[in-house]
Amino acid sequence: MKKIAVLTSGGDAPGMNAAIRAVVRKARYHGVEVVGVYHGYEGLYNENYKPLDIGSVGDIIQRGGTILYSARFPEFKEGDYQEQAIERMKKAGIEGLVVIGGDGSYRGAMQLTEKGFPCVGIPGTIDNDVPGTEYTIGFDTALNTVVDSIDKIRDTATSHENTFVIEVMGRDAGDIALWAGLAGGAESILIPEEKFEIEDIVTRLERGASRGKRHSIIIVAEGVMKGHKLAKQLEERTGVKIRTSVLGHIQRGGSPSARDRVLAGLFGARAVELLIEGKGGRAVGIKNHNVVDYDFKVAFEQKHQADLSLYTLSKELSI
């Protein structure tokens, strides 16, 4: 393998730049050239490539976002687009592709591999919902951003004796809500993986009030419902004014945590090794502290599950 390409796709995540850097540096270490593909699969289709040398990925390990930009390109699901992209990559001398993104991005990489072009997937999304790995690049940083926000909201909630609903991202996954809720000492955590009863939240609020506690933090994952809707339901039930804070895209930005940078380094390096070893069609991940890789199909069978023991623990710790 003499030349490979790398792209980022789907929602950006802190640590994607560190992963791009790792791919480029590891490939150059082995004498392999790297081409950066700009704007995800759309750029791949439109031949939006630029060579990436060692210097071009200097000073990005600490930067959030992605220097390669990211885009959603639904047309790429169609076979014609994929075949054209393969032809164009081959014309440019590119022999393998590293895709950094979520499960949607993995599907494109799997289809390109099935059509004969070797691709490797690196899990990058704040949602922590990619199959075949316990953790994704970006989750840890987003988690710390959310915990920092909860701490700040708690200061004012305590001073003014307010109850807050805080809506966090995660798409259909509850990992951000669960981990941040536990780390931030939330009184209630609502995640899509677990059914909830409004009465249960009300009971917790009332129990707190009966022992003189007049502030409370309720974390709701966006996959459950809108924070404002939940606050309205609680207001109707309790007669108490409930504030809502929707953290939004602040969760996607910021300098990656040390943990995300290390994950990015491990994943980027392994992805390049796999391509050099001629093993396309693999998704890299981490399991029990070890870097692993699976055939895309096998990875898709291992749907990511939030650690529900944390949910039970959060209930026990927020009595």
Find the shortest distance in angstroms from Cβ 130 to ligand F6P: 10
Find the shortest distance in angstroms from Cβ 104 to ligand F6P: 9
Find the shortest distance in angstroms from Cβ 129 to ligand F6P: 8
By beta-carbon proximity to ligand F6P, the closer residue of 11 and 268 is 11
By beta-carbon proximity to ligand F6P, the closer residue of 104 and 185 is 104
Can you read off the two tokens belonging to residue 292? Answer: 């692993």
By beta-carbon proximity to ligand F6P, the closer residue of 247 and 274 is 247
Find the shortest distance in angstroms from Cβ 76 to ligand F6P: 16
Find the shortest distance in angstroms from Cβ 7 to ligand F6P: 16
CA separation, residue 40 to residues 53, 98, 315 (Å):
19, 11, 41
By beta-carbon proximity to ligand F6P, the closer residue of 127 and 260 is 127
Can you read off the two tokens belonging to residue 114? Answer: 């099935």
Q: Tell the residue number behind the tokens 């249960």, with chain if given.
A: 200
CA separation, residue 176 to residues 78, 125, 142, 147 (Å):
32, 11, 8, 10
148 among known catalytic residues: no
Q: How far apart are CA 199 and CA 205, in angstroms?
A: 10
By beta-carbon proximity to ligand F6P, the closer residue of 208 and 253 is 253
By beta-carbon proximity to ligand F6P, the closer residue of 72 and 152 is 72
| Three-class DSSP labels, 165-188 | EEEECCCCCCHHHHHHHHHCCCCE
For the stretch 207-213, contacts whose Cβ atoms lie closer than 8 Å and that sit 24 or more positions apart, written own/partner, are 207/319
Which residues contact ligand F6P by CB under 6 A?
11, 102, 125-127, 169-171, 222, 252
The active-site residue out of 53, 80, 103, 127 is: 127
| Of the candidates 98, 128, 116, 102, the residue with the CA atom closest to the CA atom of residue 37 | 98
Find the shortest distance in angstroms from Cβ 13 to ligand F6P: 7
Hey, which residues are catalytic here?
127
